Each structure stands twice: as C-alpha cells, then as structure tokens.
C-alpha cells in the first residue's frame, strides 16, 4: 500500500506550493515596501510644498493673508489629523491651530529649535503619538527670514492603506494557496500518469502478459521517451522469449528423433530370434544416432565457445587464400557428384590472424550449405578480394534462395527454413559461422533471392606482419 507522502505526485505538489508561497511572499514584501516608500515620499512632498506655498503667499500678499489662509486651512481640516503653527524665530506664536490632540506629542525641543536656516530647506520627523494608533509626520521650515512654520499630519490614512494591502494579501493567500496546491496536484498527477502506466504494464508483463504495451500519448517528451523505450524493451523481451521457446522446441525436436530411433533399434534388437547378426546392425545404428546427438551437442558448445571468444588465445597468422583453396579441393568431389560447377577466384596471399580450425569449419559450413541447398547444374562461386573494409570472402550459389522473412533469422541458433527441413542439418552451421567471423573481429552478411540463389559475404580484418 502506497503512503501519500511517499508519492512523487505529493512531493511535486508540496514543492510547487512551497515555491509559490515563498515567491508570492517575496513579491508581496517588495510591493509593500515600494507602496510604503511611495506614500511616505508623497506625504513629505505635500507637506514641504504647503510650506513653500505659504512662503510664496507671504511674499506676494503679506502676513495677514498668510494668517487668514492658515485659519481657513485649520478650519477645513480635522484638528486631530493635522496641525499648523507659525512662530517667530524667538518662539513667539503668530498662529496655531487647536493643539489639544497634539499636546502629548514628543517633539524634541531640539527639533523645534533647529529649523533650517535657509528658506527652501525642511526638517522632517516621524513621531509616535501617545494614545493614538498611528504616528505622525512633522515638517518645519522658514516661510520668510525669522518666520518658522510647523506642519504636522497624522499617518493614519497611510496606515489604513498599508493595512488594507496586508489584508488583501492575506485574503489572496488564503484563496491562492489551496488553489495553487490543487492545480499543482493536477499537474503532478498528469506528469506521473505515464510513469504509473509504465509500472502497471511492467507488472502485467511480469505476470506473463508478454503482449502488454503502454499506449499512453501526449504526456510530454520525457514520458514519451520512457514509454517508447519501455515498449521497445518489452517487444525485445517478447521476441527473445519467443525465440528461446522456438529454440528449446527445436532442440527437443532434434534430440527426440535420434533418441526415438535408438529406442526403436533397441526394442527391435530385443525381440529378434537370430540375435548375433541383428545385434550387430542395431549396435551400428545406435552408434550412428549417438554420433548425431554428439555432433549436435558439440556444435552447440562450439557456437557458445566462439560467441564467448574463448578461442581467441589459440591464433596464428593464416594464408586465407590457401585455406579457401584447400576447402575448395575438399568439396570438389561433392560438387561433381551433384553436377554443380564449383569455381574460385582468389586474390593471392591474403592473410588473417585467427584460429585455423575455426576458420576452416566456418568455410566448410558455408560451402556445405551452398552445395546442399543448390540443385543439380547449379553453380557455386567463391571469391576472395581485398577491400577497404577488409578481406572479403563471398560464397554465392544459384540455389533455392531464402525467403525475405527468414533472412534475418538464419543466423539464429537452431533456425531452419521450412523448405530445408527435409535436408540433413541441425540449424547451427550459420550461427557458428557468424560467431567465428565476429570472434575474428569481422562480420557476415546475407543477400538472397528466393529461387535465384544466396550470397554469404564475410569480412575479416587483414593481417600484416611488419618485419623487425
Ligand atoms: P542447417 O544445418 O540447417 O544447414 P544452417 O545454420 O547452416 O543450418 O542454416 C540455417 C538455415 O538457413 C538452413 O536450414 C537453410 O534453410 C538456410 N540456408 C543456409 N544456407 C543456405 C543456402 N546457401 N541456400 C539456401 N538456404 C540456406
């Protein structure tokens, strides 16, 4: 049973949610500080502009007009929110709005005294107002030489805006976090859907459903790559298992025939009345069948050995041209008997480094097949040439040919084409030939046309002995 916190979807969702939380918190902090700074600057500008306007008014229309304007301003504003004061530099009050609400204001004497000496310069101070929720901003400056103006304004309005911003953010957070987690969960589920489907398919295959594939699409390139690789692997496993089954069937079949024959021979020998002569025949038949069995088992072991590259230690420089000539001589009588024209065209003195016995058997298998699967009056040609890719041995015949569907499988162990079942053989010759070619660092290929003939081509790396 899977625990939710252990699932990839849960962990991805958690990561999305944390990332969202952190980034939106950072964004909010930035916004909060920016708005606070803008409002503070705006307020400072307003207060200093006011003092500057009074200064202009004093210059243009004199003190009385300034006092009038201050009275009007004091009346029109909430005295709890704002105060205005005009003093002489000796501290004599010319005008002051109602300061009842501002009495406890801890404005330092030093602040009141230290007014900038130049017109157009201002002193700004933010102070905490006892018994009030908000602080206040006090600005002072000269409206004319010897005339000091103090303007104070509560920060309540600004605090309200900042609190509103905070509330909006908290509200947005309360809605956005579950929403983002929901969306994250949906995205994570979609992302892991492909992976889950692949693991379900793997479980089904493990239970024996070899044809099970993953059909899921449009899940993103990474998942698609996983699905494609998984399907390719599943197909490979299916092919391998099918081939293994076929191979086991073939081995069983190849072992059964000689064993059944041995059994029949033995039964017959036991039931005859003239034992001596019949025993002799039975013994000879049994030997023949035992040899077939041994040949089959030995060749299987040879293929395995060649594929494992065990014989690589037992190598020597070999004149391949001469080796092929010897093989031709060996098969000449068989070809004549079948009325097949066996011809040879060999570049002289082509050398390889390899295992003589294995190379001989490889050539023998190819020649044996060519003669076996070619009818009378056919032709078998052996060519040996030097090519850029290496030494090239071609064994071509004008025989039955091989069906295109069978061509990729003829090098598999125990594979035999249907048309050859009547012939002698156990389906190991070509797999042995391929194993030997590969063990020598070469390769073997086939080109064949049914009813036209087949050409097996072996490439082997040339050997050149550099004199010391
Ligand atoms: P076998 O002992 O059956 O000849 P091989 O491994 O040598 O086994 O060959 C595998 C199968 O490939 C053969 O059974 C035959 O059907 C086919 N084959 C091999 N060589 C030839 C050829 N020259 N012409 C036609 N078919 C061939």
pLDDT digits (tens, 9 = 90+) for 243-290: 788 778 877 877 888 888 888 888 887 776 666 777 788 888 888 888
| Cα(372) to centroid(ligand 1), Å | 8
pLDDT digits (tens, 9 = 90+) for 72-94: 999 998 888 898 989 888 778 89
Closest ligand 1 atom to 415 CA: 10
* Sequence-separated (6 or more) residues with CB below 8 Å from residue 421: none
Q: What is the DSSP letter of 423?
A: S
pLDDT at 448: 97
More confident residue, 217 or 212: 212
Domains assigned to the chain = 8-160 (3.30.450.20), 221-308 (1.10.287), 316-460 (3.30.565.10)
Nearest-10 Cα torsion for 294, 298, 300, 301: 140
pLDDT grade, residue 104 (50/70/90)?
low
Residue 393 to residues 335, 352, 359, 442: CA-CA distances in angstroms? 19, 12, 12, 11
Which of 89, 105, 83, 77 minimizes the C-alpha distance to 143?
89
pLDDT digits (tens, 9 = 90+) for 335-382: 999 999 999 999 999 999 999 999 999 999 999 999 999 999 999 999
Closest ligand 1 atom to 416 CA: 14
| Cα(333) to centroid(ligand 1), Å | 21
- Name the closest-CA residue to atom 13, ligand 1: 416
| Cα(433) to centroid(ligand 1), Å | 11
Cα separation, 3 vs 5, whole angstroms: 6
Cα separation, 450 vs 397, whole angstroms: 12
- The answer to which of 30-34, 156-160, 192-196 has the lowest mean pLDDT is 192-196
pLDDT at 269: 79
Say if ligand 1 is within 6 A of residue 417 CB: yes
pLDDT grade, residue 228 (50/70/90)?
very high
Whether the pLDDT of residue 1 is over 60: the answer is no
pLDDT at 467: 47
Which of 253, 258, 260 minimizes the C-alpha distance to 287?
258
DSSP assignment of 53-101, as one string? HHHHHHHHH-HHHHHHHHHHHHHHS-TTTEEEEEEETTS-EEEE---GG
pLDDT grade, residue 116 (50/70/90)?
confident
Which of 105, 156, 124 minimizes the C-alpha distance to 46?
124
pLDDT at 111: 60
Cα separation, 269 vs 281, whole angstroms: 9
Mean pLDDT, residues 413-431 taken together: 86
Mean pLDDT, residues 298-326 taken together: 84
Mean pLDDT, residues 216-243 taken together: 88
pLDDT grade, residue 398 (50/70/90)?
very high
Cα separation, 140 vs 320, whole angstroms: 111
- Mean pLDDT computed over every residue of the chain: 88
| Cα(425) to centroid(ligand 1), Å | 8
Two tokens, residue 405: 């569907």
Cα separation, 366 vs 397, whole angstroms: 10
Mean pLDDT, residues 199-218 taken together: 90
Q: Strand 351-354 to strand 453-460: parallel, antiparallel, or no bridges (unpaired)?
A: unpaired
Secondary structure of 153-165 in the HEC alphabet?
A: EECHHHHHHHHHH
pLDDT digits (tens, 9 = 90+) for 143-155: 998 899 989 999 9
369, 373, 452: residue to mutate for ligand 1 pocket, most atoms within 8 A of CB: 369
380, 410, 444: residue to mutate for ligand 1 pocket, most atoms within 8 A of CB: 410
Say if ligand 1 is within 6 A of residue 282 CB: no
């Amino acid at each position: 049973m899977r625990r939710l916190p252990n699932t990839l979807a849960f962990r991805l969702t958690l990561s999305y949610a944390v990332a969202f939380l952190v980034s939106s918190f950072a964004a909010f902090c930035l916004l909060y500080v920016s708005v606070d700074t803008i409002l503070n600057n705006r307020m400072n500008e307003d207060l200093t502009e006011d003092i500057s306007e009074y200064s202009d008014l004093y210059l243009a229309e004199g003190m009385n007009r300034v006092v009038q304007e201050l009275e009007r301003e004091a009346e029109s504003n909430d005295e709890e929110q704002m105060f205005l004061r005009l003093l002489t530099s000796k501290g004599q009050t010319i005008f002051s709005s109602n300061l009842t609400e501002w009495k406890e204001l801890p404005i330092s004497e030093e602040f009141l005294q230290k007014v900038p000496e130049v017109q157009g310069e201002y002193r700004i101070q933010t102070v905490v107002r006892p018994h009030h929720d908000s602080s206040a901003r006090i600005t002072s400056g000269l409206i004319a030489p010897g005339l000091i103006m103090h303007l104070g304004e509560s920060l309540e309005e600004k605090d309200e805006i900042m609190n509103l911003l905070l509330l909006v953010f908290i509200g947005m957070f309360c809605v956005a976090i579950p929403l983002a987690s929901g969306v994250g969960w949906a995205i994570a589920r979609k992302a892991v859907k492909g992976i889950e489907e692949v693991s379900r398919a793997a479980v089904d295959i493990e239970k024996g459903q070899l044809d099970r594939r993953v059909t899921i699409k449009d899940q993103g390139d990474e998942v698609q790559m996983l699905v494609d690789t998984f399907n390719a692997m599943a197909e490979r496993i299916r092919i391998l298992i099918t081939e293994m089954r076929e191979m086991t069937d073939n081995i069983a079949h190849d072992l059964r025939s000689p064993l059944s024959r041995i059994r029949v021979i033995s039964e017959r020998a036991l039931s005859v009345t003239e034992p001596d002569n019949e025993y002799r025949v039975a013994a000879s038949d049994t030997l023949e069948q035992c040899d077939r069995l041994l040949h089959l088992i030995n060749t299987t072991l040879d293929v395995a050995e060649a594929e494992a590259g065990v014989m690589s230690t037992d190598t020597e420089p070999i004149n391949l041209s001469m080796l092929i000539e010897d093989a031709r001589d060996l098969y000449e009588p068989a070809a004549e008997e079948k009325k097949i024209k066996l011809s040879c065209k060999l570049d002289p003195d082509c050398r390889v480094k390899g295992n003589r016995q294995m190379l001989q058997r490889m050539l023998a298998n190819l020649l044996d097949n060519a003669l076996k699967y070619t009818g009378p009056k056919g032709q078998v040609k052996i060519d040996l040439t030097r090519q850029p890719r290496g030494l090239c041995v071609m064994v071509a015949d004008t025989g039955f040919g091989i069906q295109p569907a069978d061509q990729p499988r003829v090098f598999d162990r125990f594979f035999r084409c249907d048309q050859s079942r009547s012939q002698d053989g156990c389906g190991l010759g070509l797999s042995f030939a391929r194993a030997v070619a590969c063990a020598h660092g070469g390769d073997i290929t086939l080109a064949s046309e049914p009813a036209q003939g087949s050409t097996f081509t072996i490439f082997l790396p040339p050997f050149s002995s550099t004199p010391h």
